[in-house]
Amino acid sequence: QMCVEGSFAVLQLLLNIHSEQNVRQPTEDVMVVEGHPTTLTCLFDTTSPSPYLFWYKLANDKPIFMLRRDTFSPGETTTEFKDRFDAHLNVTGKSVPLTIQRLQLSDSAVYYCALRPTVTKVYSGPLQKL
């Protein structure tokens, strides 16, 4: 459901966090304004000194791989998301915030991060949809 105030369309980015290890999102619903940047925070807790973090976007209940960040390489971002999406892995602070530039209405979706790659079923509970 979109809220429109004047000429600004307000997007709601929903974050559902799923991982076999401890990954958490302080705020689940983020209200943002179209055309502006926003950052979605993901905090993680792992004993691994070299964690691999992944961001996904859900479309039709299926995960779309967005990007991977790790300590061994610059990481990987799929072509679809290279232009406006980025994330920086902070191993010391145990966070991997996702930054979205120039928000578009089509960005309104469920996003989540994980400590491991997701291949099969990704979320066992109900998903909140727009």
- Among 41, 50, 93, 92, smallest CA distance to 70 is for 50
Using CA atoms, how far residue 32 sits from 15, 29, 115, in Å, is 13, 10, 26
Q: What is the pLDDT of residues 4-51, one digit of tens each?
A: 333 344 444 554 444 445 666 665 567 778 898 988 888 888 888 888
Res 24: pLDDT: 67
Confidence check: pLDDT of 67 > 60: yes
Quick check: 28 and 36 in contact, CB under 8 A? no
Q: What is the pLDDT of residues 86-115, one digit of tens each?
A: 999 999 999 999 999 999 888 888 888 888
Question: What number of other Cβ atoms are within 10 A of residue 54's Cβ?
Answer: 25
Q: Provide the token pair at 53.
A: 């973090």
Architecture field, domain 3-114 = Sandwich (2.60)
The chain-wide mean pLDDT, for the chain, equals: 75
Using CA atoms, how far residue 101 sits from 32, 50, 87, 118, in Å, is 11, 28, 11, 25
CA atoms lying within 13 Å on the CB side of residue 106: 3
The pTM (predicted TM-score) of the whole model is: 0.73
